[in-house]
């Protein structure tokens, strides 16, 4: 493991922006931090990069502890903030050479590493252009180039596709996947599709807590049956009590005289359950396999709920 969060909490005036968070990240993973604005994603990244210190708990990066070994840890990281600070009057080459010198890259390696990241981020044809003349997509690439100048083990990207057009977004996704060949990548976003497009694993953050932590390929599976009938929960539970293999039943939606339930049961029993429902005189509107995926999980955590929208302001 290269990153270890051990029961980390961060408070601001009594408000817990991050609340007892624990997770591990292994070398080479592409991990998406997914959640609404204000969920706690940015605070987690600021804790990881040393910009903030935990109120409680401990953070370890590559075997080093954040509060005591921060300089060594930061030398292993590359960070692209959401609003990447760039100097518009400088050319790409000038900016990256200056940044490389600030990062302590030896003069003997300076030009080689700068032109290496320019090539890796597909900036060669724009290398002598002033940054102020570039499109948003190219400016994001300059930010990524700066983040990977020191060959970091960990690359942290905060909303890297925010404000990009569809072509620029596809280019950024390809770049992220390229970075993952040599680095662990942590991608923070509130956009579901970005996690689905590039990540191996998702950590859903809600109200400062980890709501879900799972590999994406483990999410795409059938988890039971979705059934809509004209019977209330008590009647449906009585019916299911006589059915073999129904582990749990959960009322999800009710509209007028229609009740939608999720049954944790093998889908091979759909025919038997349908027969029992009809024999009982119930009206059956729907019986379909319940597909568990990232979209369904995200809706389960967020639809009809809200996070504290002041988090970004509080931690800025």
CATH number (domain holding residue 204): 3.40.50.300
Read off the tokens for 273: 């359950």
The count of C-alpha atoms lying within 13 angstroms of the C-alpha of 55, restricted to the half-sphere facing its C-beta, is 14
Predicted local distance difference test score (pLDDT) of residue 220:
66
101 domain-assigned: yes
pLDDT digits (tens), the chain, 316 positions: 899 999 999 999 889 999 999 999 999 999 999 988 888 998 999 999 888 999 999 999 999 998 888 889 988 999 988 888 899 999 999 999 999 999 889 989 899 999 999 998 989 999 999 999 999 889 999 999 999 998 999 999 988 888 888 888 898 899 899 899 999 999 998 888 889 899 999 999 999 999 889 888 877 666 789 999 999 999 999 998 888 788 999 998 888 889 999 898 888 888 989 999 999 999 999 998 887 667 766 776 665 444 444 444 334 3
HSE (CB half, 13 Å, CA atoms) of 127?
Answer: 17
Number of structural domains found in the chain: 2
- pLDDT confidence of residue 303: 56
Inter-residue contact 35 to 176 (CB < 8 Å):
no
Final residue of a domain: which of 185, 218, 251?
218
Provide the pairing of β-strand 248-255 with 258-264: antiparallel
- Does residue 314 form part of some domain? no
Q: Is residue 155 located within the same domain as residue 95?
A: yes
Q: Within a domain: residue 140?
A: yes
Domain end point (choices 165, 185, 218): 218
Helical residues (DSSP H) of 50-179, grouped into ranges: 70-74, 92-102, 107-120, 136-147, 166-179
Residue 133 lies in a domain: yes
In a domain, 240, yes or no: yes
**Looking at the structure, do residues 15 and 115 belong to the same domain, yes or no?**
yes
| 152/203 Cα distance (integer angstroms) | 22
**172, part of any domain:** yes
pLDDT attached to residue 308: 47
C-alpha dihedral, 120 to 78 to 87 to 169, nearest 10° = 60
Residue with token string 């706690």: 40
3-state secondary structure of 207: coil
Residue 299 located in a structural domain: no
> Of 168, 201, 218, which residue sits at a domain end?
218
Residues 206 and 259 in one domain: no
> Is the same domain home to 56 and 172?
yes
**Do 230 and 140 belong together in one domain?**
no
Asked if residue 311 is part of any domain, the answer here is: no
Q: Are residues 43 and 172 in the same domain?
A: yes
> Which residue range is the domain that position 107 belongs to?
3-218
* Same-domain check for residues 208 and 106: yes
Q: CA 180, CA 151: separation in Å to the nearest integer? A: 12
Shared domain for 167 and 197, answered yes or no, is yes
Question: What CATH number does residue 273 fall under?
Answer: 3.30.70.3100
pLDDT score recorded for residue 300: 67
C-alpha 232/C-alpha 5 separation (Å) is 44
Same domain, 262 and 196: no
**134 lies in the same domain as 167:** yes
User: In the chain, which residue ranges form alpha helices assigned H by DSSP?
Assistant: 41-49, 70-74, 92-102, 107-120, 136-147, 166-179, 192-198, 216-219, 233-241, 270-279, 294-302, 311-315
Does residue 214 sit in the same domain as residue 227? no
Structure confidence at residue 23 (pLDDT): 96
Domain co-membership, 24 together with 164: yes
Confidence at residue 310, expressed as pLDDT on a 0 to 100 scale: 42
**pTM, whole model, 2 decimals?**
0.74
CA gap 141, 120 in Å, rounded: 10
């Amino acid at each position: 493991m290269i990153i270890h969060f051990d029961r980390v909490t961060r408070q601001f005036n009594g408000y817990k922006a991050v609340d007892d968070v624990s997770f591990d990240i292994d070398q080479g993973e592409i991990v998406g931090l997914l959640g609404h604005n204000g969920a706690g994603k940015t605070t987690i990244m600021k804790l990881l990069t040393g910009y903030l210190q935990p109120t409680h708990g401990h953070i370890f990066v590559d075997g080093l502890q954040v509060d005591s070994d921060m300089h060594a840890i930061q030398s292993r990281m590359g960070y692209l903030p959401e609003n990447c600070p760039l100097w518009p009057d400088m050319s790409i080459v000038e900016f990256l050479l200056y940044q490389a010198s600030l990062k302590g890259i030896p003069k003997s390696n300076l030009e080689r590493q700068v032109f290496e990241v320019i090539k890796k981020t597909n900036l060669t044809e724009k290398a002598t252009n002033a940054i102020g003349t570039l499109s948003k997509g190219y400016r994001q690439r300059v930010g990524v180039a700066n983040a990977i100048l020191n060959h970091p083990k960990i690359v942290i990207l905060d909303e890297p596709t925010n404000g990009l057009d569809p072509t620029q977004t596809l280019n950024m996704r390809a770049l992220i996947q390229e970075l993952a060949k040599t680095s662990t990548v942590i991608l923070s976003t509130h956009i579901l599709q970005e996690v689905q497009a590039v990540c191996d694993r998702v950590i859903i953050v809600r109200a400062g807590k980890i709501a879900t932590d799972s590999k994406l390929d483990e999410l795409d599976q059938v988890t039971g049956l979705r059934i809509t009938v004209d019977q209330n929960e008590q009647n449906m539970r009585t019916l299911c009590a006589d059915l073999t293999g129904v582990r749990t039943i959960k009322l999800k939606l009710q509209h007028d005289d229609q009740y939608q339930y999720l049954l944790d049961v093998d889908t091979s029993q759909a025919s038997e359950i349908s027969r029992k429902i009809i024999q009982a005189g119930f009206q059956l509107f729907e019986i379909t396999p319940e597909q568990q995926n990232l979209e369904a999980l995200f809706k389960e955590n967020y639809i009809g709920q809200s996070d504290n929208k002041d988090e970004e302001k509080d931690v800025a």
